[in-house]
A = this chain, B = another copy of it.
Amino acid sequence: MSRASIADAVGLTKATVSSLVGELIARGLLSERGRAPAAAVGRPGQLVALSDETVVGLGLEINVDYLAACVLDLAGGVRFERFLRRENRDTPIRDVFDALGDLGRSALNEAEAERLIPVGVTVAAPGLVEVDSGMLLMAPNLGWSNTPLRTEVANRLQRPHLYVTADNEANLAALGELWQGHGQEWRDFIHISGEIGVGAAVVVGGELLRSGSGLGGELGHLSIDPNGAECPCGSRGCLERVVGQEALLKRARLDAEVGTSIGVPDGGVRLLAESAERGDQRTLDALAEAGEALGLACGAAVNLLAPNTVVLGGIFALLFDWLADPLREELEKRAFVAKCSDVAVVRSELGAAAAVRGAASLTLRAVCADPYLVGSSGR
């Protein structure tokens, strides 16, 4: 954008914008990018854009069956991204953190080798995270509880000046989709993260919904059949028992094979997708049922919140083709609201990468919100 168009968009004067832009360029957050394509008449503007050669954010993710790291620059460029397939359930917690620390340090090293300045780190985890303290209070699918996520990670990165934040994986995935994917256009959407567990995050008006308690988003434990099978959570007929990765594998009778594929990238999902691709009936049935169950659950959420889009993320992004139609059909039936306004059901753009990307973006957003952070070493 040119200075003039920025002034127009934010409602400040050209004069004010000019001086602010000047300051941000001096700090290296913005850079000039040639002239605008001379429109009709008048002097063409100087384009300014977020700089891609100064500040970067690091995102880290601990999930049940992988670790991930991602470095993003302000312009949205992915400067580093690596997934490390790894079963994190039955290994000692400190081994997991050691592995994540190694991954994070190598990401930082690569960034610094390119003369980029990391300004912060956000750690995503599949469970209930207390943002202020950086504690992972409870992660049922990981089997962890009361783990000091932030300090464990911070201690291993060897960058004491870096501010480390921790947040919930489902929330960060939605933010990833919001900032890196098409989220800005949707503005009101529900992002469903299918992994071993099933989570959801709600974006209203381009803003992530955060409850006071930091909990929420437990779509996986929505009861879709009040008299259905028992769930360890104490309820019956929970969505997760039908559409969670392990439930899907079991229902498709692929759970025997998956044992042999631990350590294979995208172990379980890959198996499911391949089996569906081959036209295996049991798999197709399981997926159709899952789509229907998701539709029922989404119906509840849509009736309550009336988003304009439902985004299928995580493993559901890979399985989208088999889930979408039954989901839409059920949603149409169940959601009163969907009769007045169209609700689109779409595949996540980032898939399993959404959460790390969101994590990396979150730190960068903090810089955008307060550019004085840069240079003043962390917070």
Contact = CB atoms under 8 A, between A and B. Distances in A.
A211 B218 contact: no
A305 B305 CA distance: 10
A307 B211 contact: yes
A6 interface: no
B235 A333 contact: yes
A77 interface: no
Nearest to A240: B336
Given A223-B299, A224-B226, A296-B223, A306 B216 contact: yes
Interface string A283-317: 00000000000001001110111111000000000
Interface stretch (A79-87, A198-206, A352-360): A198-206
A334 B235 contact: yes
A6 B360 CA distance: 39
How many identical subunits does the complex contain?
A: 2
Contacts of A162: none
B334 A215 contact: no
Query: Is chain A's interface secondary structure helix, strand, loop, or mixed overall?
Result: loop
A304 B223 contact: no
A112 interface: no
A301 B299 contact: no
A212 B200 contact: no
Contacts of A341: 213, 215
A224 B303 CA distance: 13
Contact of A303 (B204, B218, B307): B218
Interface in A187-217: 187-188, 200, 202, 204-205, 209-217
A340 B304 contact: no
Contact of A226 (B188, B205, B213, B296): B296
Interface of A: 128, 137-138, 187-188, 200, 202, 204-205, 209-219, 221-226, 233-236, 296, 299-301, 303-308, 333-337, 339-341
